[in-house]
Amino acid sequence: MSKHATGTRTGSEQALAVYLELRARPASDSGSGTAFEDVADGLGLSADERLRCRAELTALGLITDVTDTATHTVVEPDTALVRLLQRERDRLEHRLAETSRAQATLATLAGPFLRAGAAPRSEVDVEVVADTARVRQELAALTDAVRTSVHSMHTGSVRREDMADELARDCRWAARGVRVHAMYSRRISSVPDMAQHLEERAALGVEIRLSPVVPMNMVLADENFALLPTDPHDPDSATILARGPGLVRSYLSLYAYCWQAAGRYGDEEKPERGGDGLSEQQRAALRMLASGIKDEQIAKNLGVSLRTVSRLLSEVMQELGAASRFEAGVKAARIGLLDGEADA
């Protein structure tokens, strides 16, 4: 084979030519230290080409250098392939073992930190807003954002210019199946404009109740939004916008208590009767009971014994037809026995 012919071969073709020549030699000659050089000389390989061929054949496992004797062994292709696959499998098994150890370490170290990182952040986002226009914007945005329920309470009449907006919201909520509860002070039902407004809201499916005492203005949506005043006694005070169930659920509990004590809209024409036969002492005991005062303090305030307080409250329950003290308080609120409590 001429030098010109070998010079046109690629590196792999040169390595193949060297390997074929080495295999063609007798076993005693092919493994000698000079055999490779003889073949390279015969193929006209340069010094760089010889190094590349030797490196490629060694990497493929087709020749095995014996460094201490400067000789090499020619390996059959099938044997070289098996050895190459074995080395690759050993390498992969080693890598898998390292990966398993790393995974176990990560699970041990990262587990607690991942759980800590997954812990919910504060569920409450509170903002105080003094701009009434901003509050109106929030209510307008709420119209489309609410999904399941809206609860509101009003200490006084709704402004005439706001009534149409409120009815429009009711229509949209009714169309989407949103449940709407609204609570008003009982006295506003005697205002002609408000009486008409309540009738229109009720016709749209709003559940309305009237209460002798409404503690504050409030709007609650789903379990995620609350709008309430910073000062319940000052209608011009700034407004609190709260988001997140962590706080809103607490206000929902307060609302549910007030709702239970309020009377259904439409039932006020047939108010519950009772309480006419209560003495001033019994009324005083009832008011203190409704305010959450314990029997011991009621006894001190009235200057009587605990036994007398127990008897007075039993007489109140009997007069109101109540099976429990709680029911007595609810009935007393419904029929107006507690209306003057704040002034007492």
The reported pLDDT for the residue numbered 179 is: 93
Q: Which of 47-51, 66-70, 204-208, 260-264 has the lowest mean pLDDT?
A: 66-70
The alpha carbons of the chain give a radius of gyration, in whole angstroms, of: 46
Task: Express each pLDDT in 299-316 by its tens digit.
Answer: 888 888 999 999 999 888
The reported pLDDT for the residue numbered 271 is: 46
* CA distance linking residue 339 with residue 34, whole number of Å: 119
Alpha carbon of 251 to those of 185, 220, 221, 229, 290: distances in Å? 18, 8, 11, 13, 20
Identify the burial level of 42 via C-beta atoms within 10 angstroms of its C-beta, where 0-12 means exposed, 13-18 middle and 19 or more buried. middle
Count of alpha carbons within 13 Å of 249, Cβ hemisphere only?
Answer: 5
Q: 6 pLDDT exceeds 50?
A: no
- Check if the beta carbon of residue 6 is closer than 8 Å to that of residue 17: yes
The band of 209, judged by pLDDT with boundaries at 50, 70 and 90, is: very high
Instruction: Return the bridge partners of 127, or none.
Output: 241
> Which has more pLDDT, 29 or 19?
19
Q: How many CB atoms lie within 10 A of CB 313?
A: 20
Instruction: Return the bridge partners of 180, or none.
Output: 150
Q: What percent of the chain has pLDDT over 70?
A: 82
Mean pLDDT along residues 17-46: 79
Backbone angles phi, psi at 221, to 5 degrees: -125, 130
The reported pLDDT for the residue numbered 5 is: 43
The reported pLDDT for the residue numbered 132 is: 83
SS3 at position 126: strand
* CA distance linking residue 82 with residue 142, whole number of Å: 72
Mean pLDDT along residues 70-90: 80
Q: 30 pLDDT exceeds 70?
A: no
Contacts of 101 (CB under 8 A, 6+ apart): none
Mean pLDDT score across all residues of the chain? 80
The reported pLDDT for the residue numbered 208 is: 92
The reported pLDDT for the residue numbered 27 is: 63
The CA-CA-CA angle for residues 322, 328, 332, to 5°, reads 125
Handedness of CA 46, 51, 52, 57 (dihedral sign): positive
- Check if the beta carbon of residue 221 is closer than 8 Å to that of residue 228: no
- Which runs of consecutive H residues, i.e. helices, occur in the chain? 3-7, 11-24, 27-30, 33-43, 47-60, 77-118, 132-145, 160-175, 192-203, 245-261, 280-290, 295-302, 306-320, 325-334
The reported pLDDT for the residue numbered 7 is: 47
The reported pLDDT for the residue numbered 29 is: 60
Q: 103 pLDDT exceeds 60?
A: yes
The reported pLDDT for the residue numbered 31 is: 57
Does the reported pTM lie above 0.85? no
- Check if the beta carbon of residue 331 is closer than 8 Å to that of residue 338: no
Q: Which of 59-73, 124-138, 186-200, 323-337 has the lowest mean pLDDT?
A: 59-73
* CA distance linking residue 197 with residue 163, whole number of Å: 7
Q: 104 pLDDT exceeds 80?
A: no
Q: What tokens appear for 101 in the block? A: 């150890």
* CA distance linking residue 287 with residue 342, whole number of Å: 10
